[in-house]
Chain A
Amino acid sequence: MIAGPDHRAQGELLRLSTAGSVDDGKSTLIGRLLYETKQIFDDQLEAVERASKQQGADYLNLALLTDGLRAEREQGITIDVAYRYFATPRRKFIIADTPGHIQYTRNMVTGASMADLAIVLVDARRGVLEQTRRHALLASLLRVPHLAVCVNKMDLVDYSQQVYEAIEAELSEFTARLDVIDVTFIPISALNGDNVVHRSQNMPWYEGVPLLYHLEHVHISSDRNLIDVRFPVQYVLRPMNDAYHDYRAYAGQVAGGIMKPGDEVLALPSGFETRISSIDSTDGPVAEAFPPMSVAIRLEDDLDISRGDMICRPHNQPAVSQDLEVMLCWFSDTPMRQGGRYGLKHTTRNARALIKELRYRLDINTLHRDESATALALNEIGRATLRTTAPLFFDPYRRNRQTGSFILIDEASNNTVAGGMILQGS
């Protein structure tokens, strides 16, 4: 039962997001993954058994494992993004579990923002619905590198290859238009466990792998940008004590590229060039730093660098601009206004932004662009132009999710009102 003590300390981390609609079995699928990878403790299972009986269910309602807050238990719905954890000897998984019905865009965008892989569920009986296309679109907009489309409830269509292939063909045609990086289709029954962890005996015609195997083996280490060196300065370490009298290091998380001591670097906005003298961690100097390492960098020359500055390479610099073309996902009950001013956070840099023009509102069901729109309401997405109070050092979001993303903050309430992805400077 128990493998060696180390066996779960080494594997990679895979972050996944799930999107689903009411009754397409998302909670059951997650419950199944947790249950079969033995993440469910006996006390949790007992609570689920009790609750299943109370609800009159004649099977173990695995969906109850993931319904967290009191209001959700009462109403039988999932309110917000919840995070779940499971591990296999190969990898550790973090699931951002988002509800499919209310606040749909807000929650799914939140979950997808960090995801390496998005699971999209399709009910085999109902086929490709508007909401299926919406899930795929949002995953593509957020540049989730891998999409796993699980055609669920195959048990209810007699495990029909024909049904599955029709759905695969229809959705493939749609995702081909979306610039999705990698799509995998898997026919499953979350309720019965077919092709979730174990290969299904009921679908011998399916030649692919079960979902969990796919999650364990999908190639993610090349998803991060290892070409363009980007180091947003987060914090300046200056001990100012006798032992480290002249020590000054720039702490942060590598957002792109591979950095080594001796590398020529350039700091923005100053434009000064110098070399990396050392890359420090508490465990000592490191030979290389790459995403997503958190390190502290010392430079050969004493430059005036502070939080919000960007360290890059002289011959590979991010774009610098105060005028941006962006996609905005609006999260607030108060609609976005043209001409509105908001706080903006991009990498470790804070600024203010003016929304100059809404170019169009995107209908996330039809992909129609409404160019007559002048505002974005809650959960709407559109393309806009921004002017910021200070230049941002950025890459297009499609090239680097860290240096291409930002949030907008309402300056009166301090709430996060939008997530944004930079298309280009303007």
Chain B
Amino acid sequence: MAAGTAQEAILRASTFIRDDMVYSLSHLEALEAESIFIMREAAAELERPVLLFSGGKDSAVLLRLAEKAFRPARFPFPVMHIDTGHNFPEVLAFRDRRMAELGERLIVRRVQDSIDQGRVVEERGPNASRNKLQTVTLLDAIQEFEFDAAFGGARRDEEKARAKERIFSFRDEFGQWDPKNQRPELWNLYNGRIRKGEHVRVFPISNWTEIDVWHYIERERLELPPIYFAHERDVFERQGMLLSVSPYVQLNRGEEPFRAQVRFRTVGDATCTGAVRSAAATIEDVIVETLGFRIGERGMTRADDKFSEAAMEDRKREGYF
């Protein structure tokens, strides 16, 4: 094999006669290519993957990436929604509309069923949320269907614990993540080997940032639940966040509902997802607004991450999304 300098000279010389920009991708195209590669790799190496759908913008991006990876064939996996029962109705409507368009199989597993079966106990008090309980429902569903891989829309820029997580993230038979004992992940050689009962969480958009996600939504003209855009809503203020008035949240003394023009920056359980005051009505408006944000999306709008410095790390160890 001529690892020859002659060949390399040609390689170098040829770079001068080429228009540089022709053979390079924009960062969004490079991220998309990486994500598609990751999805195909998991589908090829594992037997029973599932795509976890939350109704948020990251899920919307994952579904589009799955189309990019597998169309014109069907997805080689079902889509699963862990339903806390405390959803924004707009999110459920979006989920059903999008799944009908895609013609893919949707599995729904409900936290309410886990409560009724005594698998988990409902939290009490004004900050009660089903956010943490859904981990049990999720792990039970993974066991029920014998899923060995679960695609999630987590990104490393969201949070410090996630910054260290692998793209193929190993989970033991209890669904636990061990941050100190992760498999080295080199080049694009993902190790999806597991034993029965274990599974892999696969994060195709690990390397995307919040603004990348919005740029992609803009480029692909992706539909999102309308609550991502400015609308009038009854809200109240708690711990500096605007929470939506809903049957699932009890108002404390002194908390007065009022009407405001808001939108949601992240979409999760209605009991712990805060709204931001905003007039951003279109994707373009949201991009401009996001570029100007001075507070991280989780710090701003997720009560679940606020309770302790290490809140996300603790939940992830137990098998959270």
Taking beta carbons and an 8 Å cutoff, which residues of A are in contact with B? 1-3, 5-6, 8-13, 41-44, 47, 67-71, 73, 79-85, 87, 91-92, 94, 106-107, 109-110, 113-114, 219-222, 224-227, 234-235, 237-241, 243-244, 247, 251-253, 258, 281-282, 290, 292-294, 307, 319, 331, 343, 345-346, 348, 396, 398-399, 401-402, 405-407, 409, 414-416, 419, 424-425
Contact = CB atoms under 8 A, between A and B. Distances in A.
Contact of B293 (A6, A41, A68, A407): A41
B43 A41 contact: no
Considering residues B24, B33, B161, B189, which has the most beta carbons from chain A within 10 angstroms of its beta carbon?
Answer: B189
A80 B189 contact: no
5 contacts: A12-B30, A13-B30, A227-B10, A293-B33, A294-B40
Most chain-B Cβ atoms within 10 A of its Cβ — which of A67, A106, A414, A424?
A: A414
A234 B44 contact: yes
B145 interface: no
A309 to B, nearest CB: 13
B189 A69 contact: no
A44 B288 CA distance: 21
B281 to A, nearest CB: 14
Interface string B92-126: 00000000000000000000000000000000000
Contact of A94 (B25, B32, B207): B207
B169 to A, nearest CB: 12
A405 B313 CA distance: 32
Interface stretch (B11-19, B77-85, B229-237, B265-273): B11-19
A409 B191 contact: yes
B226 interface: no
Q: Which of B37, B184, B295 has the most CB of A within 10 A?
A: B184
A329 to B, nearest CB: 9
A416 B71 CA distance: 32
A9 B219 contact: yes
Contacts of A409: 191, 193
A269 to B, nearest CB: 18
A109 B160 contact: no
Given A43-B296, A416-B191, A235 B44 contact: yes
B291 A5 contact: yes
B34 A292 contact: yes
Contact of A69 (B10, B29, B34, B164): B164
Given A42-B294, A43-B296, A80-B182, A5 B284 contact: yes
Which of B3, B44, B218 has the most chain A CB atoms inside 10 A of its CB? B44
A110 B185 contact: yes
Interface of B: 1, 3, 7, 10-12, 14-15, 18, 20-21, 23-34, 36-37, 40-41, 43-44, 67-74, 156-157, 160-161, 163-164, 179-180, 182-189, 191, 193-195, 206-207, 209, 211-212, 215, 218-219, 284, 287-288, 291-296, 299-300, 309-310, 313
A345 B27 contact: no
A234 B41 contact: yes
Contacts of A220: 24
Nearest to A347: B189
Contacts of A253: 33, 36-37, 188
B204 to A, nearest CB: 11
B189 A405 contact: yes
Nearest to B219: A9
Contacts of A237: 70, 72-73
A243 B103 CA distance: 15
Contacts of B161: 68-69
A240 B146 CA distance: 26
6 A-B pairs with least C-beta separation: A222-B15, A13-B27, A43-B299, A68-B160, A294-B36, A92-B27
Contacts of A107: 184
A9 B26 contact: yes
A330 to B, nearest CB: 11
B151 to A, nearest CB: 15
Given A110-B186, A237-B70, A425 B1 contact: yes
B313 A70 contact: yes
Given A8-B215, A396-B3, A1 B292 contact: yes
B1 A292 contact: no
B30 A292 contact: yes
B191 A407 contact: yes
A91 B28 CA distance: 11
A238 B68 contact: no
A409 B194 CA distance: 11
A404 to B, nearest CB: 10
Given A85-B207, A348-B44, A396-B1, 11 more contacts: A70-B309, A83-B156, A83-B207, A252-B37, A292-B37, A294-B33, A331-B184, A407-B191, A419-B186, A424-B1, A424-B3
Contacts of A405: 186-187, 189
A282 B24 contact: no
Contacts of B206: 83
Contacts of B186: 109-110, 113-114, 405, 407, 416, 419
B296 A41 contact: yes
Nearest to B67: A282
B184 A110 contact: yes
Contacts of A399: 3, 7
Contact of B164 (A47, A82, A348): A82
A307 B18 CA distance: 32
Nearest to B300: A43
Contacts of A293: 25, 29, 33
A12 B24 contact: yes
Nearest to A4: B288
Contacts of B218: 5, 9
A68 B164 contact: yes
